[in-house]
Amino acid sequence: MTDIPRRNPNLVMRLARLGSIHQSRLSFMRVLTRRMAKEGWRFERTDFAVNDAGEGHAVYTAHGPDRSYSLIAYAHDLPPEKRSDRVIADAWDATFTLFDGIPTADDIQRLSQNIPVQEAGRVSGTELSVSRANRSVRLWEHVVSRLADGRQPDAAQIEAVGYLMRTTAVYGSGKLGAADREMIADRPEFRAPFQVEMLSVYLTRWFVLDLVQHMANRRASAAGQKAATLSLDLARSMGIGNSTGLGMAPFLLNHPVLFNNWVAARENAIQAVCSLDSASTEERALFHALVERSKQTIATWHSEHQIQIEKLVELRSDVEKLDEYLGQNDLTGPRPWYNLYKWAENSLSLEGQEWIASLILEPYGTLVDPLAEEMAADNTATFRIAGAMTIADLRGLLKDIYAWALEIDWDAPNNKARAWYVSEEKLEPRLGERFEEPVEQYEQPLAPGRDAALLYKALAHWPDETHVADFLLRHPEHRHMLRRAQIVGRAPYAEIRDNTISDRVLPIDMLRCKLAFFGATQFDPRSDRWVRICMYGGAPLPFELDHANADFWVFPEIEPQRQESVA
C-alpha cells in the first residue's frame, strides 16, 4: 500500500476550514489535565477571605512534582453598569493572577494594588498570568438564590448558559511585567503551549464555585436559614466562559512558527492514524462510544449567529450521514481511519470533516499524545533572514506558497476592504473599513496575501541570481513579508492561505481555530468578530481529578451520573 501523505497546507490553511476545527487529544486543556492526573498533582485552598458583599481574596495552590503554582483571586462588588467583556472595560467581578510558587502575605498585599486594575497595574517575574472574569448575571443570581433557598439550581438553566463567570482576557508571557515565557519554557509542565493560562482557568473554575456557594451561604444566613450545598454533578457540569475578541486573530498571524507547530502536530497525528492498517476491537469500541458522546455536544450546541446556525444544520446532517456510514462500514477493513476520513472529505461539510479528523485520533493516545511536546516554538532560529537566497528561489517560494494570493486582483476595493489597526484605547486590536474610516495609515502587517503579491511584483525586474540581501537594502518595506515567506518555506502550516482583509473575511474563523486548539467546544459567535465559548465544562474538579477522568471529560457522559454533594 502506498504511504498516506500529510494533508496539504493549501487544503488545511483556508479560513473556512480553520474556522471549522474541532478540539482534539492535542488540545491544551486536555494536555494539562492528563499531565496533572498522571503526575498526581495535589490541590488545596489555602485562603478564602471574602466578605458578605463578595469582596476579598482567595488563594488556590496546585502542587506538581517539582513546583507549586497559586491562583490568587480578588473578588469585587461590581456595579452592573460597569460589567463589559470588552478590552476597554476597567472593572470586573473578579481578577486573578497565577503566582509562581506560594505567595506570602506581602505578595497578596502587593498584588491587591495591581491585579484588580489589570492593564493599569504592574506585576513582576513571580507572576505568570493576569486575568479577569465577569459573572453571567442571569445564571449567577439563579444559582445563589436557589441555593440560599435550600434548593438545587435548575439543570436546564445551567445547561443553557454553561458557566457562572466568563474570563474576558487571560494575559501571559510577559504582559504587564509578568514572567516571560522564556523564563518557564524549560519546565516540563509548561512545555506545551498555553499551559499557564489553562492552569489559571482551571483553578479559576474552582474559585468561582466556592464563591457562589459562599454568597448563597451568606444570603441564607442573613435570612436565618441554611443554604443547600451545590451538587457535585451540577458543579462539574459548569465550566468557565470566555469571550474572545479580535486580539486573538493577529496572534495567529504574528506567531507563524508557533501556529505551524500546532497545526503540524495535529496533521502529523491525523496522518499517523490514517496510516494504521487496522483497528482493534477496543479501539473501535472507544471510537463508537465517543461518537455517541460527541453527538450530545453537537445536539446541545446553541448559537444565535446566522453563520453558526447554518453550520450546525450541516453538522447535524453530517452526524446522520456518519451513522449511515458506520452502519455499513464496521471499521474492520484495511486502513479503516483513512477510508473514513476520505469518505468524510468527500461527503461532509467542513465542520463534519474536521470533527471526524479530530475524533479518529481519540483511540490512539500512545501515538498522538507525545506530539503535544512539539507544539511550542522558539522563534530565534527562524527570525533571521537568509540573505544569500537568490531572487529566483524567492520567486519560486512565493509562487508555491502564495499562488492563491497572486491570483487575487488587489486593486479591487472588495479584496482589500478592511484594514487591521490598533486603537489607542487600551491598544485594542480592531478591524476597520479601509475606504470608509481614516485607519489605513495605522494598518498593521496582517495581510500576508496582499503583501506577498506586492513583493512578487517588486521582484519582477530583478535578476534571478541576485541575493535577497541586496534587494532588501533597496526595499526595506518588503523585509517583513520576505522574512515571512522564508519562514513559511520551512514551516508550511505557518500561513493562513486566505485573504485576511477582504470584505468577506470572518475574524471569528481565526478565533475559532485558536480556541479549538485550547480545547473549547460549542463556539457561539456573537458577531463576525467575537465569540463566546465555555472551557472545562464537564471536567473533573481539582479534588477529584484522576487517571480515569482526566482524558475524555470533554465528551459528555450519556448515562446520568449519581447525585453527590460537594465534600
Partner 1 sequence: MSHSLNEIEAMGKRAARGAGLSWGLAEEAAKGTRWLSAFGFPGTEMLAELLKLNDQVPPIDVSPVSLSADIWHAPARRMSPLIAGASLSDCAVRLYERGSITMKNVSLPLLAVPFMGGAALRLGVPVAAEWDGARVATDGKHLCVQGDAAALEAKHAERLVFSAPAEMTGQNEAVMRAEVSGGSWDTLNQFAHRTFAPATEESRLRGAGAGLSDND
- Judged by CB under 8 A, the chain residues 368 through 427 that form the site for partner 1 are 380-381, 383-388, 421-425, 427
Task: Check binding of 180 to partner 1 (CB under 8 A).
Answer: yes
> Given the complex with partner 1, which of 183 and 331 has the nearer CB atom?
183
Tell which positions 294-313 bind partner 1, by CB under 8 A: 304
Among 24-32, 80-88, 102-110, 279-287, the segment contacting partner 1 (CB under 8 A): 80-88
Task: Check binding of 543 to partner 1 (CB under 8 A).
Answer: no
> Given the complex with partner 1, which of 328 and 380 has the nearer CB atom?
380
* Interstrand relation of 163-172 and 239-244 (parallel, antiparallel or unpaired): parallel
Residues 535 and 23: beta-carbon distance below 8 Å: no
CA 336 to chain centre: 30
From 68, 112, 145, 173, residue interacting with partner 1 (rule: CB under 8 A): 173
The b-or-e profile of 111-128 (16+ CB within 10 A means b, else e) is beebbbebbebebeeebb
Residues 109 and 72: beta-carbon distance below 8 Å: no
Task: Check binding of 101 to partner 1 (CB under 8 A).
Answer: no
C-alpha cell, 226: 441554611
Q: What's 561's DSSP letter?
A: P
Among 66-74, 94-102, 262-270, 473-481, the segment contacting partner 1 (CB under 8 A): 473-481
Question: Nearest approach, Cβ of 467 to partner 1 (angstroms)?
Answer: 8
> Given the complex with partner 1, which of 421 and 518 has the nearer CB atom?
421
Q: What's 73's DSSP letter?
A: E
Measure the CA–CA gap between 283 and 287, rounded to whole angstroms.
6
Tell which positions 118-147 bind partner 1, by CB under 8 A: 122, 124-125, 134, 136-138
Which residues are registered as beta bridge partners of 70? Answer: 61, 99
Question: Nearest approach, Cβ of 500 to partner 1 (angstroms)?
Answer: 15
Task: Check binding of 55 to partner 1 (CB under 8 A).
Answer: no
Contact track, partner 1, 498-537, x by CB under 8 A: ---------x------------------xxxxx-------
> Given the complex with partner 1, which of 259 and 421 has the nearer CB atom?
421
Task: Check binding of 314 to partner 1 (CB under 8 A).
Answer: no
Question: Nearest approach, Cβ of 134 to partner 1 (angstroms)?
Answer: 8
Cα–Cα distance list, 146 to 111, 142, 230, 234, 488 (Å): 34, 6, 10, 13, 55
Task: Check binding of 439 to partner 1 (CB under 8 A).
Answer: yes
CA 45 to chain centre: 27
Task: Check binding of 464 to partner 1 (CB under 8 A).
Answer: no
Question: Nearest approach, Cβ of 555 to partner 1 (angstroms)?
Answer: 27
From 91, 483, 541, 549, residue interacting with partner 1 (rule: CB under 8 A): 483
Vertex 442, ends 441 and 448: CA angle to 5°?
95
* Interstrand relation of 521-525 and 429-433 (parallel, antiparallel or unpaired): unpaired
Instruction: For residue 186, count other CB atoms closer than 10 A to its CB.
Output: 8
> Given the complex with partner 1, which of 327 and 438 has the nearer CB atom?
438
From 48, 64, 68, 174, residue interacting with partner 1 (rule: CB under 8 A): 174
Task: Check binding of 117 to partner 1 (CB under 8 A).
Answer: no
Task: Check binding of 480 to partner 1 (CB under 8 A).
Answer: yes
Residues 323 and 398: beta-carbon distance below 8 Å: no
Q: Which residues contact 29 (CB under 8 A, 6 or more apart)?
A: 23, 198, 202, 518, 519, 535, 536, 539, 554
Among 43-51, 176-184, 358-366, 405-413, the segment contacting partner 1 (CB under 8 A): 176-184
Residues 268 and 368: beta-carbon distance below 8 Å: no
> Given the complex with partner 1, which of 39 and 503 has the nearer CB atom?
503
Q: Which residues contact 45 (CB under 8 A, 6 or more apart)?
A: 58, 59, 60, 61, 206, 210
